[in-house]
A and B are shown apart, each in its own frame.
Chain A
Amino acid sequence: MAKWGMVIDLNKCVGCQACTAACSQENTRLPGENWQDVLYYAEGQNLTWLPRPCMHCENPSCMHVCPTKATYKTEDGVVAIDWDKCIGCKYCMIACPYGVRFYSDTKPLIAPDVRGAFPGDGKRSWAPPYRLPEQFEDAKHGVGVSPSGVVSKCTFCYHKISKAPKGTADLDEDNPATKEHTPACVRTCPAKARYFGDLDNPQSRVNQLIRDRGGVRLLDQTGNKPQVYYLTGVGGSVPSSRAKQA
C-alpha cells in the first residue's frame, strides 16, 4: 500500500490561501475551521508564511492519546478520525504539536453562526446545499460535514486519494488520470507549490524533491515524524536532526 505524503515548496508558495479556500469548499468547513491553514508570521519587517495541513505523522501523538482509538492510522499512511467512535474529549487537540485539529462544537468565529443559516440534520452538525455530496462522505475517515461533538482535521482528501489506482506513485493534477484523485489543496495551488505522492516509492516525485531539495519536517524534535515535508533553500536549510529509529 502507499504511504501518502506531501511536499510543499516554500520557494514557490506565495501565501495566497487558495489551498485553504479550496479545502474549505471541498470539505465543507466552517469559517475558521482551517484544516489547511496558511500561517503568517511577521517579525519586524520580515513577513513569512507557511501552509500547514495535517502532518499525518508516522508517530502521531494524537493517535496515542485517543481513548477510543477514534484517531488511527490507515494502511496507506493517513491519520484518520472515526466520527462514530469519537467522544469529543479533545485530548488529541491537546496532544497535536501542530495545532491542526478542530472541535465541531465551538463558538463561531464569524457571527451570526453560519450553521444557523444551514441547520444540521442530526447526522451533520450543519447542512449547507454546497456540502460534499453524500456519496463522498465517510464518517469512518472523518470526511464530510462532521456531526456535533467530535474532532475533525485534514484527511489528505481521503475520499479522493483512496480511489487512486494501486501503485500510483504521484497524484498530480496535471495528469488527467490522477487529477480527480488529487487532494484539493494540491490540485488548486496556482504556484504549483504542493506535491502529493507515495513516500514508500523511491521513484515518486515527492521523494525526488525531498532528496534533491533537502525536504525538512516541522518540529522534528518532537519525534512525530510528519509525512509533510517542506522545501526551503537548496543548500542551506534546517537540518533534519532525528537519528533513524530502529
Chain B
Amino acid sequence: MSAQLNAPGRLNGPVLAMGLAGLVVGIAITIASLMYSGHAAFNTTNDGVSWGLPVAVYVFFVLASTGLTFVASLAMVFGMREYYPIAKRCVWLAAATLIAGFASLAFELGHPFRMLWAIPLSFQISSAMNWMGLFYTLYLVFLLLKFSRMHAGDWDSGASRNLGLASFLTVIVAHGTLGLVFGMMAMRPFWYDGLMPIYFLATAFLSGLALAVFITHLAYGFSTQNMPARIAALLAGALPRVFAFALGLVILFVAFRTITGLWSNADGLEAFHWMVRSPWFWIEAAALIVAFYILMSPGMREAARPQTVASVLVLAAIAIGRYEFVIGGQVVPLFKGTWVPGLIEYVPSLTEWMIALAAISLALALYAFGEKALDLGAEPKAG
C-alpha cells in the first residue's frame, strides 16, 4: 500500500529540484529572449520551416501523455487489473506531460491568449488543429477529474469508470486529430497519410510504455527489491512483453516508412534523404533495435537495469523521431526557387532549446511534486 511508497523516494527531492531549476532557467531565458527580439529569437523563418523545436517538443509530450493514458487505460478501461499498481502514477505523469506540451506550444504561438476567445467564438470546423485542441483540453479535464477520484480512493465506481473511459476516448480522438493535422497535408508527401493517426497511436503507446517503465523504476530507486510485489510482477510479466510488442511494431513502421520515402522520386520526399543523412537517424535506429534486443532477451527483459536502459533508449529514439518528423515535413522548400537552392537549413536557436528545457523541467517538476505529495503508488485495494 501507500506506505511502501517513498521508502527510498530519495530521488524525488533531487528530481524536483532539478525540475524547478530547469524551469526557472528555461523560462527566464526564453522570456528575456522574446522580450528583446520577439520571435526573431527563434530560428524558424519564412523560407518554410515554420514549426520548429517547440512544436516537436509539444508533439513529443502530448503523445507521451496519450501513451501514458493508454497504459493506465489497460487497467482503467480494459480491466487488466495487473496494471492498476502503476495506473495512478501514469495518470499523473500523463497530466504533467500534457501541461508541459501545452506550455511549449504557448511560447510558440504569436498570440496565445487570443486563442482562448478566438477559437470558441470563431471555430473553424474543418481545421484538425481545432479538434485537437478541443479534445486535448477535454482530455485534460477528464484526466484530472479521474485522478482526483483515484486520489480519493474511488477506483471503479460508475462515475470513476466513466471518467476513465472519457479520458481514454478523448485522448484517442485528440491524438488522432493531431495525426490528421499532419496527415491531411496533401501538399507535403512526407506527412500526407490518412493513417498518420495510427502511426501516432503506435508511437504514443510506445512512449507511454517506456515512460511507465522508467518512472516506475525511478520511483523505486531502480531496484525491484523496493517494489511492492504486484508492481514487480507487472514489470516481470506483461509490461515488458507489451513494451516489446509495441516496439517491434514501431520499428516496422519506421523501417517501411523510411524505405518507401527513400525509394520514391516524388517531390517532397527528398526529406527522407535528408533524414538518413543525419547521424541522429542512425542513433535513433540503433537505439530502437538495441532496446528491442534487450526486451526480447529472456535474461534482460525482466531485470530492472536493462529495462531502464531500454526505456531510456526508446524515449531518446522517439524524441529524435518527433523532431525528424516535424522538421522533415518542412525542409523541402515550396516555391522559393533560387532563394533556397537546396533544402531549408534549420537548427533550433538557444531560445527554442530553452523552451524545450522549460517544458521538460515543468514535466519533471510537476511529476516530482506528485510523487512527493500525491501518493502516486496507490492502487485499489485487492479484491
Q: Do A and B have CB atoms closer than 8 angstroms in the complex?
A: yes
A→B interface (CB under 8 Å)? 32-33, 37-42, 49-50, 52, 61, 63-70, 85-91, 93-109, 113, 125, 148-151, 219, 222-223
> Please, which residues of chain B bring their CB within 8 A of the CB of A88?
109-111
Smallest beta-carbon distance A17→chain B, Å: 12
Name B112's contact: one of A42, A87, A96, A106 (CB within 8 Å): A87
Name B44's contact: one of A41, A106, A151 (CB within 8 Å): A106
> Please, which residues of chain A bring their CB within 8 A of the CB of B38?
105, 125, 148-149
* Cα A148 to Cα B48 with chains together (Å): 18
Kindly state whether residue B334 has any CB partner on chain A within 8 Å: yes
> Please, which residues of chain A bring their CB within 8 A of the CB of B137?
none
- Name which of A33, A66, A87, A219 has the most chain B CB atoms within 10 A of its CB: A87
Name B333's contact: one of A67, A70, A99 (CB within 8 Å): A99
Name B334's contact: one of A63, A97, A104 (CB within 8 Å): A97
Q: Given contacts A87-B115, A91-B127, A103-B110, could you give 14 more A-B pairs where the C-beta distance is less than 8 Å?
A: A39-B339, A63-B124, A65-B124, A67-B130, A68-B123, A90-B50, A95-B185, A95-B187, A97-B187, A99-B335, A106-B39, A125-B38, A149-B38, A150-B111
* Cα A85 to Cα B181 with chains together (Å): 20
Q: Known: A67-B127, A105-B39. Contact between A86 and B46, CB under 8 A? A: no
Kindly state whether residue B157 has any CB partner on chain A within 8 Å: no
* Cα A1 to Cα B124 with chains together (Å): 24
> Please, which residues of chain B bring their CB within 8 A of the CB of A69?
122-124
B40 A108 Cβ-Cβ under 8 A = yes
Residues of B in contact, count (CB < 8 Å): 43
Smallest beta-carbon distance B194→chain A, Å: 16
A64 B339 Cβ-Cβ under 8 A = no
- Name which of B40, B330, B337 has the most chain A CB atoms within 10 A of its CB: B337
> Please, which residues of chain A bring their CB within 8 A of the CB of B111?
86-88, 149-150
> Please, which residues of chain B bring their CB within 8 A of the CB of A125?
38
> Please, which residues of chain B bring their CB within 8 A of the CB of A63?
124
A39 B46 Cβ-Cβ under 8 A = no
* Cα A35 to Cα B46 with chains together (Å): 11
Smallest beta-carbon distance A217→chain B, Å: 13
> Please, which residues of chain B bring their CB within 8 A of the CB of A105?
38-40, 42, 110
Q: Known: A68-B115, A105-B110. Contact between A40 and B51, CB under 8 A? A: no
> Please, which residues of chain A bring their CB within 8 A of the CB of B126?
64-65
Which residue of A has the minimal Cβ distance to B333? A99
Kindly state whether residue B10 has any CB partner on chain A within 8 Å: no
A67 B45 Cβ-Cβ under 8 A = no
Which residue of B has the minimal Cβ distance to A42? B338
What are 8 A-to-B residue pairs whose CB atoms are below 8 Å? A38-B337, A41-B338, A66-B124, A70-B122, A87-B110, A94-B329, A97-B334, A99-B336
Smallest beta-carbon distance B276→chain A, Å: 23
Q: Known: A52-B335, A87-B112, A149-B111. Contact between A219 and B187, CB under 8 A? A: yes
B186 A86 Cβ-Cβ under 8 A = no
Smallest beta-carbon distance B51→chain A, Å: 6
* Cα A89 to Cα B40 with chains together (Å): 15
B133 A149 Cβ-Cβ under 8 A = no
Kindly state whether residue B277 has any CB partner on chain A within 8 Å: no
Determine chain B's interface SS by DSSP, over half rule: loop
User: How many cross-chain pairs have Cβ atoms below 8 Å apart between A and B?
Assistant: 149
* Cα A39 to Cα B27 with chains together (Å): 40
Smallest beta-carbon distance A53→chain B, Å: 11
Smallest beta-carbon distance A186→chain B, Å: 20
List which B174-189 residues lie within 8 A (CB) of chain A: 181, 184-188
B334 A33 Cβ-Cβ under 8 A = no
* Cα A39 to Cα B46 with chains together (Å): 15
A85 B122 Cβ-Cβ under 8 A = yes
Kindly state whether residue B374 has any CB partner on chain A within 8 Å: no
- Name which of B39, B42, B46, B114 has the most chain A CB atoms within 10 A of its CB: B46
> Please, which residues of chain A bring their CB within 8 A of the CB of B42?
105-107
* Cα A63 to Cα B188 with chains together (Å): 17
B110 A150 Cβ-Cβ under 8 A = yes
B334 A99 Cβ-Cβ under 8 A = yes
* Cα A197 to Cα B333 with chains together (Å): 30
Kindly state whether residue B43 has any CB partner on chain A within 8 Å: yes
Smallest beta-carbon distance B183→chain A, Å: 12
Fill in one digit per residue for B308-350: 1 if any A CB lies within 8 Å of its CB, else 0: 0000000000000000000001100111111100000000000
A103 B40 Cβ-Cβ under 8 A = no
> Please, which residues of chain A bring their CB within 8 A of the CB of B43?
107
Q: Known: A41-B338, A106-B44. Contact between A148 and B187, CB under 8 A? A: no
Kindly state whether residue B29 has any CB partner on chain A within 8 Å: no
Fill in one digit per residue for B181-213: 1 if any A CB lies within 8 Å of its CB, else 0: 100111110000000000000000000000000
* Cα A94 to Cα B110 with chains together (Å): 15
> Please, which residues of chain A bring their CB within 8 A of the CB of B373?
none
> Please, which residues of chain A bring their CB within 8 A of the CB of B338?
39-42
> Please, which residues of chain A bring their CB within 8 A of the CB of B185?
94-95
B45 A65 Cβ-Cβ under 8 A = no
Smallest beta-carbon distance B29→chain A, Å: 17
> Please, which residues of chain B bring their CB within 8 A of the CB of A50?
335, 337
Kindly state whether residue B7 has any CB partner on chain A within 8 Å: no
Smallest beta-carbon distance B108→chain A, Å: 8
Fill in one digit per residue for B245-283: 1 if any A CB lies within 8 Å of its CB, else 0: 000000000000000000000000000000000000000
> Please, which residues of chain A bring their CB within 8 A of the CB of B44?
103, 106
